[in-house]
Structure 1
Amino acid sequence: MLSRVANNLYWFSRYIRRAENMARLIDVSSQLQLDLPRTAHIAWRPLVDTLGASAEFERLHGSGDAPSEAEVIRFLLVEPENPLALRGVVRHAREILRTVRETMPQDCWIAVNDLYLHIETSAERAGHRRYRQDFLARVIDCCLRVSALLANNVSRDIGYQFMRLGSALEQADMTSRIIDAAAAGLIQARSEDDAEAFRAMQWMSVLQSLAAYQMYRRHLRQRVGAELALQFLLKDREFPRSVLFCLTRIQGMLQQMPPQRLVQQAFRRGLGLVFDADPARLVVIGPCEFMDRLQVELAALDAAIHQSYFPG
């Protein structure tokens, strides 16, 4: 397989998984805002920082007072000048798929094109609370449809392995970013006593953003708390969106690919970081620094993959 095609398949799957997770995070945060009492509110700026769009946001909106909900939601969903917006992510996925249509099921192109057209035709009202939930639910459903088509209708050749590799790496990265959003203080309360009361709700929203709440309750059978939520999302071996599960999948894929020393070294650093993580300690010191280190290691793994498999 040409490295250019492998690179396109890798990034196509990354963009589809990124769009789904962005939609989930914004949807849960929006619903959480409706459930909070007047003594608390959502701080929307951490969502921008979590998704790595701070520089673009400050370029378009400045770095002054705390931005409003409407500003952040429009920026993250449909802002045409923000290439990191959901709209831009889906556009990138569609353009990549256009170049590799001959290697993919026709139904996959139809699903991605439907998603693109839905976003383009709904862009003006996507930021309004009245329409936002339906808009995001349609995005999530379309992304899951594409993932199901890829899982069930694509031959298990090397191209499929690169798609799985991109999807797993993207999910590990997005899981760390969504955890980071909660750690950065998504819910802002008027007093520390109120903040303590809302922490469980905050971690519950993280689990819901990752479609993990029911599985958390099924496996742990305990009330939601920071330490247990971190343990589950970082180190659970059975939940598909946990960081360790994603890294274990990557390990299996790398064994089926031509061995590359740079990739193996970068992978072992990331895996070791997750294995050594102590959720109890992270709760005490705050998980933000650890999540930043994890994202650096995942970015290094991505760079090693590009250098080794997609040269030029």
Structure 2
Amino acid sequence: MMLSRVAERVYWMARYLERTENTARLINVYSSMLLDLPGRMEINWYTLIRLFNADQAFRERYGRVTEENIMRFLIADRDNPASVVSSLLNVRENVRTSLDLLPDEIWQQVNQAHIQMNAALDLIDKRHDRQNVLRAMQQAGQCIRGTLDSHMSRDNTFDFMQIGRHLERADMTSRILEMASMLLSEQRSDNMRKYEGVLWTNLLQSLSARQMYVRHIHARVDGARVLNFLLTDKVFPGSIGYSLAAMARRMQYLPDPELPMTMAQRIFEHLGAQDLSTIPANQVHPLMDYLQSELGQLHGEIAKTWFYPDYDAHPAPQAQG
């Protein structure tokens, strides 16, 4: 079994790598969507801040709600642990302290992405340049993950990486799905109803899920089907159900996995018990809040079981953000 501090580093490396790529993709897709929609809609630039539950942190550091301030907060703000630059910096630090466990190419790839990101921070106020920078970060994340998947032994190091990756992915998916409460609301505006198909399609694209949805669902894009696909689908790696099952599979190879595995299974069963075809709009947000709370507790149980046996007294130093 790995040392607990080593296991924690690779777990967080995978989480931050997933966060870097997902945040970059979400901002890019969201930006393109807003530019194609009419100006007066319930969804606007500030919706991105709400998706990250970052209202207070944003308003403490930025006086005005503008596109430029929101982009700087989500991409370049080193004091924001969920920003692209902070996430990538944390990937680099965890790779640096775990070099003996990882393929030789990883340090070069991560360091190159870190240098590229910092060199491009002055460009993010311009939309076209910003999209290119974020696209480059997505590609860097995919390249790093591809190297890890291709060249890592399937041992406990890989197990912890997969657990961290899928926990972060499930959390991000639940945050993006909070938009569904607006898209399904009976009080939504005429503009929202008019562009409903566009909005659901962009939601799928923000999770790289559009093509697989079309391939497997064989139906037009609509709210209930999208929710069901992204919450419970068992074969699409971007669904929350898939991520929960993937975490449980990896946990079984670790010592004393019973409690974390039971928690992951409980969340999955709760999702399966929901009738997503008839769920009211006002119940979507509480369901996503429940998921985020449960995923946070699952992280706590993972840390307590494998990283910090006395977790309650000595919480893990790396924050979720």
Whether TM exceeds 0.5 here: the answer is yes
Structure 1 residue 200: Cα displacement: 2.0
**Could you tell me which of 250, 254, 257 is aligned with 1:257?**
254
| Native 8 Å contact 2:19 2:82 kept in 1 | no
Structure 1 residue 272: Cα displacement: 1.9
Distance 1:126 1:39 in 2: 25
- Which is worse superposed, 133-142 or 284-293? 284-293
| Native 8 Å contact 2:245 2:264 kept in 1 | no
Alignment of 1:19-30 (within 5 A): 19-30=20-31
1:171 is matched with: 169
**Could you tell me which of 59, 80, 96 is aligned with 1:82?**
80
| Native 8 Å contact 1:70 1:127 kept in 2 | yes
Is 1:128 equivalent to 2:129 in the alignment? no
Structure 1 residue 279: Cα displacement: 1.2
Provide, for residues 88-134 of structure 1, a one-character-per-residue CA deviation record: whole Å limited to 9, x for no partner: 11001101111011111121111111111111000111232120111
Distance 1:41 1:288 in 2: 15
**Closer/same/farther in 2, CA of residues 297 and 159 from structure 1, 3 Å limit:** same
SS at match of 2:221: coil
| Native 8 Å contact 1:161 1:253 kept in 2 | yes
| Native 8 Å contact 1:53 1:84 kept in 2 | no
Provide, for residues 216-247 of structure 1, a one-character-per-residue CA deviation record: whole Å limited to 9, x for no partner: 11111221111010011011111110011111
Structure 1 residue 84: Cα displacement: 2.3
- Which is worse superposed, 282-291 or 131-140? 282-291
| Native 8 Å contact 2:17 2:88 kept in 1 | yes
Count of aligned pairs: 306
Structure 1 residue 286: Cα displacement: 4.2
| Native 8 Å contact 2:200 2:226 kept in 1 | yes
| Native 8 Å contact 1:14 1:166 kept in 2 | yes
- Which is worse superposed, 198-207 or 163-172? 198-207
Distance 2:281 2:37 in 1: 25
**Could you tell me which of 222, 225, 229 is aligned with 1:228?**
225
| Native 8 Å contact 1:46 1:185 kept in 2 | no
Structure 1 segments (4+ residues) deviating >6 Å: none
**Could you tell me which of 266, 271, 286 is aligned with 1:274?**
271
Provide, for residues 175-221 of structure 1, a one-character-per-residue CA deviation record: whole Å limited to 9, x for no partner: 111111343569xx9x8222211222211111000111011111112
1:48 is matched with: 49
**Closer/same/farther in 2, CA of residues 284 and 126 from structure 1, 3 Å limit:** closer
Is 1:193 equivalent to 2:194 in the alignment? no
Distance 2:137 2:233 in 1: 27
SS at match of 1:170: helix
Provide, for residues 54-79 of structure 1, a one-character-per-residue CA deviation record: whole Å limited to 9, x for no partner: 231121125xx7x2211111110002
**Closer/same/farther in 2, CA of residues 172 and 38 from structure 1, 3 Å limit:** closer
Provide, for residues 11-53 of structure 1, a one-character-per-residue CA deviation record: whole Å limited to 9, x for no partner: 0000000111101110001111221235548412221121232
2:13 is matched with: 12
Unpaired segments of 5 or more residues in structure 2? 311-321
Task: Tell me how large the CA RMSD over aligned residues is.
Answer: 2.0
Report % sequence identity.
Answer: 33
**Closer/same/farther in 2, CA of residues 128 and 60 from structure 1, 3 Å limit:** same
Distance 1:226 1:201 in 2: 11
Distance 2:39 2:87 in 1: 34
Is 1:59 equivalent to 2:60 in the alignment? yes
Is 1:292 equivalent to 2:293 in the alignment? no
| Native 8 Å contact 2:182 2:281 kept in 1 | no
2:318 is matched with: none
TM-score, with length taken from structure 1: 0.92
Is 1:102 equivalent to 2:100 in the alignment? yes
TM-score, with length taken from structure 2: 0.90
Distance 1:125 1:284 in 2: 38
Amino acid at match of 1:36: L
Is 1:114 equivalent to 2:115 in the alignment? no
